[in-house]
Structure 1
């Protein structure tokens, strides 16, 4: 197995990156784009490993057992930094720290590589600070930015980057990948369809029954929206389901961070809190709340994507479009939606879901309010 095997259904991208690692078309700044779950950051990390590996050429090369590949893949290489944020945005102070790091020479004899996940979350000031570093690069420093689309990145930045575009993997490719991980074929097929090409989501659906249960709760909502009371209940349940999934992800991490903070300030051993502990605890609490908010919004966003898939299936079924349904397991409910609404109405419903998403993510409308308004709009019309 090589590092490229983590990139499902990205054959042309792998070939291009292998050629660049061998010296064909190399540049100092890269922009990896692609839909959620396509593997943007995985592609950047695989490329970084190829560049740091002394044995990898344009072909398969090193089987990822050398020291350089191993440390890059496990996040411990001294010259490869992966910048992730748990916040709603990446601020100018964080970027200035990266710019200072980029000015330093690498510790090894190859490259210093800075991988910025969620580059679309850079604030305007952060973008301006990053632009300066990309315009005047250090000779041995590489920038790799990851974003959903090129439009999510400042034009002056993207014009200085070589674009790497990833595509959504096909259902068969995702299912095949899951089978290689030991997942039974029927479950792999379900997870591949339900994830709509999102590799991380597919793995979660395949390996975690609780995730599958929560998704089933969400996709069953459209068939139940028969009156105002059920709309209000559905909004509350979607918000609750998203919060439960977000809490399940962050609870252990929050507890570990609190334990590490107590140990760092000797609270447990000394039995008392030093003066510096209070501000540090306040800062940690603020950071955890910000992370929890973002994670909650991410889970709501995922739920909205699942809702869209139901109405998409209804349109496909009503118009006789080729291809299978995303939600084949609830075909009877999809047929019920087809019987009560035209394809035009279901298309408008998808628009209303995207409008609710924009209200929450872009305009900070409270989740409960946005979901209630959306569910009322989605209500099954009375005949």
Structure 2
């Protein structure tokens, strides 16, 4: 078994981290071929930043070939005693969370060579929070390794960038993602190709489209309704419908995960299935439920952002038709609607709408209400 299995189209990055994992830890990030105490994994959404970070963590924590499968399972479950993680479902990572992780980073490794700390969304740290992490990177414990993930180097403050070694990921090819779906999930080749193409090589979204019929239907509904907008009343109605779709999608994603987390929490607390929760443990269960509610709010916003991404791909296709481009359409299944929009709209109008999508994405990240963002965007389609 290899910890790097399932990482698609990232051979160069895997080669760097694999070589580093086989080296001894050094105190500087200047040696481009060796191991260092702080790493930054960057790449676009869906490129596999987190997957690569945790594969690297498993390689660092493993004590040898005989241990690799067990260590990988522990890292996947986030239960390895020498692994610390920080994943925020909120808009920003709190300073308290980072302080807690920094404190635990000073513990000595208990079973392996290293103590590994992973921050999945380092771009969500405000400057004040980043400065707390900076102190840990400036004076790292001898056997602690930090792995940060962000879309780009520009998404972390310059002082942190200067103290990490960057590994850049690229968008994998559609065929590579499709092959992964076939090999790991037994998806038929046609569905795998369509899902990878429509997800624009976003591995997680491609997997979901390939394995979830309801997710595919929601995407089709989104594009069909937006292509059908002809007036302001249509735009407002479709905005409400898309907001509802995002909520439904969020519930579908969260329900199974929330139940699994609850069962695991109760099991760890020693509560048998179906038994009443002792009063002394109810505060911990309430905390879990509150965390899940906060995550659900973030999940709805992520769902709206995915809608924006799907619309961006659709109107990119419209522009390709208008300009006579040779690029393959992402949404071939909507060929009729795309060509109709290409005849109805001017290229300038399409470019303006694409710019409006980018503005809407910024509004969502700034906590603007999803419905208001959708209404403003879709009304810009009406001329």
Q: What TM-score do the two structures reach when normalised by structure 1?
A: 0.89
Cα displacement (A) at 1:321: 2.1
Q: 1:113 to 1:262 in 2, by over 3 A?
A: closer
2:154 paired residue number: 151
Q: Deviations over 1:299-339 (max 9, x none)?
A: 11001100110001111122122331110111111101110
Give the one of 194, 209, 215 matched to 1:211.
Answer: 215
1:318 aligns with 2:322: yes
Whole-angstrom distance in 2 between the partners of 1:11 and 1:212: 30
**1:268–1:322 CA distance, 2 compared to 1 (3 A):** closer
Alpha-carbon separation, structure 1, partners of 2:75 and 2:264: 25
What's the Cα RMSD here? 2.6
Tell me the distance in 2 between the aligned counterparts of 1:230 and 1:36.
31
CA distance in 2, matches of 1:69, 1:265: 25
What pairs up with 1:309-348 in 2 under 5 angstroms? 309-348=313-352
Task: Provide structure 2 residue ranges, at least 5 long, that are not aligned to the other structure.
Answer: 24-32
Q: In the alignment, what sits opposite 1:10?
A: 10
- Measured in 2, the distance between the counterparts of 1:9 and 1:63 equals 27
Structure 2 distance, partners of 1:257, 1:9, is: 31
After TM superposition, the score normalised by the length of structure 2 is 0.89
Residue 377 (structure 1) aligns with:
380
Matches within 5 A, 1:1-383: 2-23=2-23, 24-55=33-64, 62=65, 65-181=68-184, 182-255=186-259, 274=279, 277=282, 283-362=287-366, 364-379=367-382, 381=383
Q: Indicate how the Cα distance of structure 1 residues 372 and 90 shifts in structure 2: closer, same or farther if over 3 A, else same.
A: same
**Are the aligned partners of 1:64 and 1:70 in contact in 2 as well (CA < 8 Å)?**
no
Equivalent-residue separation in structure 2 for 1:269 and 1:197 (angstroms)? 42
How far did residue 3 of structure 1 move?
2.3
**Taking structure 1 as reference, are residues 164 and 3 closer, same or farther at Cα in structure 2, changes over 3 Å only?**
same
Separation (CA, whole Å) in 2 of partners of 1:165 and 1:269:
47
Structure 1 residue runs without a partner (length 5+): 56-61
Secondary structure at 1:96 match in 2:
helix
How many angstroms apart in 1 are the aligned matches of 2:300 and 2:95? 24
- The residue number in structure 2 matching 1:59 is none
Deviation at 1:218? Answer: 1.2
Query: How far does the alpha carbon of each residue in 1:214-242 deviate from its partner, in whole angstroms, 9 at most, with x for none?
Result: 11111223321111111111101110000
Q: Distance in 2 between matches of 1:64 and 1:266?
A: 31
Query: What SS does structure 2 have at the residue aligned with 1:82?
Result: strand
> Number of residue pairs matched?
372
Tell me the distance in 1 between the aligned counterparts of 2:200 and 2:351.
18
